[in-house]
Amino acid sequence: MQAASVTIDSTGHSTEAQLLHRRNNDMTEKTDAEELGVEKINDEELGVDMSEEIEHREHSSEQSNEMVARFFNRVNKLDMNQLFVLFLVSYILWCLFFAVVLMVLSYIEPSCISPYQIDADEDKITFFDAFILSWTTFSTVGYGNVSPQVESGIPNKVADCILVGVVVSLEAFIGILFAGFSGAILFTKLVSMQSIAFVEFSEPICIELTSDGPSKESPCPVVTFKIVNKLGNETGGEIVDASLSCFVITRHYNRRSRKTFPNFAAGIDVSSNGENRFTFGSGGRNSSIRGSLRAFSTRNGSARSAGPESVTVIQRTFDKANLRTDTHPFFELDWKVKHDLDETSPLLPRWLREEIKNNDGIWPSHRYNKETIRSALTKFGKLILSIGGTSQSSGASVAGRRVYLYEDVIIGWQFNETLEETEDGKGLRVDFSELNCIKECFEGSGEAIEDYRDKRKDKTA
């Protein structure tokens, strides 16, 4: 005879046995709670309360960490001279603050703070004595001519001088923290200084043109930058395996009708600050609505019409600009960076890129002039040129960048040479005075230099 098979779950009990066991436990807990006169707490309610408390603690911790991070970020922006002045002023202010406190305590109990030598008729210390005690305590170098507690030869009055002991202990503790924070900030500053690439970027962006017009050898205008190594004239100042990247940030303003809003993903900000703010997106593109507070309001959690019939949608696009040479195995002196205004350039509008593409990649000859190039050039918000590599002297990774604006572009000009022979004629060196010197590509090719200077002056003013 074969034995009947029995199905057993992973816990080793049948389903009916589990339900019966759980029901008995619930009855037992309810009976115990009734006997003790205590209301049974629901597990779900307890979980909600605990989760809210944990969330509150995490939020408080994040706020404190953010404050510390913001403080260190602002301090790291200071140069070494400003940092030294900040430490010195902070040190003096702390010493003066505790000197005032100790001076007040000396009036309450004169025998708790005494100089090493004191006149017979003098029973109180001066502010200078209090300052000496303060800086020796704050710097933890040890007591000198002035010390806490008693005059020379008189037994300690521990009960009367306990407040002085607490103050000097607190000052010494703050002094240790101050020294630790100052050392940490200086170390971070030195490390960050080692990661800076000592290079200098040219101030203008030149767009070079050829006198013969577009051809197969030179089909498009060329955007040029110039970078020089500040340590190029010194031994060991080279940057190994240097690389460049160029990104263009462009803003687009689109006027959208209110009827098109259902095509956007709308939402309400329900953060802890309690504000109701509407945000709109269009399928992953970084966008925002200018004047959305005027165009919308909230009522019972829903949006209703309260403004103009259309709003302006602001979108920012990030596009990479291809460079002819974006790597340098041994960046020693200077580097002339070039970007072609071809059918792939993000600096040109779509219609012009299509026209160049249809013309076998050659710039249309009737548009090859400074006026047409200026009118067709995309008015970008920022052009970011970044460099990275390894320092030959320290072996540390270094990086640098320059942010250009639309007003930095000048058409029809090219850079002067920045290299010259050394005095012994055996090598080359960088002439830094020629970095921002430019000349016309050919006679009449360049924009007016006065207009270029006025545009940059108005932008930086």
Q: What is the pLDDT of residues 369-380, one digit of tens each?
A: 889 899 888 888
Q: What is the pLDDT of residues 96-149, one digit of tens each?
A: 999 999 999 888 877 788 765 545 445 567 888 889 999 999 998 888 778 886
Q: What is the pLDDT of residues 435-460, one digit of tens each?
A: 999 999 988 888 888 888 877 776 55
What one-character DSSP code corresponds to residue 441? S
- Of 320, 308, 309, 260, residue with least CA distance to 287: 260
More confident residue, 400 or 261: 400
Distance between terminal CA atoms of the chain?
101
More confident residue, 406 or 273: 406
Give the pLDDT band of residue 193 (cuts 50, 70, 90): confident
**Over residues 386-406, mean pLDDT:** 90
Question: What Å distances lie between residue 134 and 100, 115, 118, 130, 174, CA to CA?
Answer: 9, 13, 18, 6, 12
Residue 173 in this model has a pLDDT that exceeds 90: yes
pLDDT of residue 293: 35
Q: What is the pLDDT of residues 38-64, one digit of tens each?
A: 444 455 444 555 566 666 666 666 777
The partner residues of 267 in beta bridges, in order of sequence, read 279
Q: What is the pLDDT of residues 261-311, one digit of tens each?
A: 454 444 544 444 444 444 444 444 444 433 333 333 333 333 344 445 666
CA 187/CA 179 separation, integer angstroms:
12
Q: What sign results for the dihedral spanned by CA atoms 68, 71, 73, 79? A: negative
CB 403 within 8 A of CB 271: no
Give the pLDDT band of residue 257 (cuts 50, 70, 90): low
Give the pLDDT band of residue 412 (cuts 50, 70, 90): very high
Rg (CA), the chain: 37
CA 160/CA 151 separation, integer angstroms:
14
More confident residue, 4 or 26: 26
User: Mean pLDDT across the chain, nearest whole number?
Assistant: 76
pTM: 0.65
pLDDT of residue 120: 40
The partner residues of 459 in beta bridges, in order of sequence, read none
Q: What is the pLDDT of residues 307-331, one digit of tens each?
A: 456 666 777 888 999 999 999 999 9
CB 237 within 8 A of CB 249: no
**Over residues 181-205, mean pLDDT:** 88
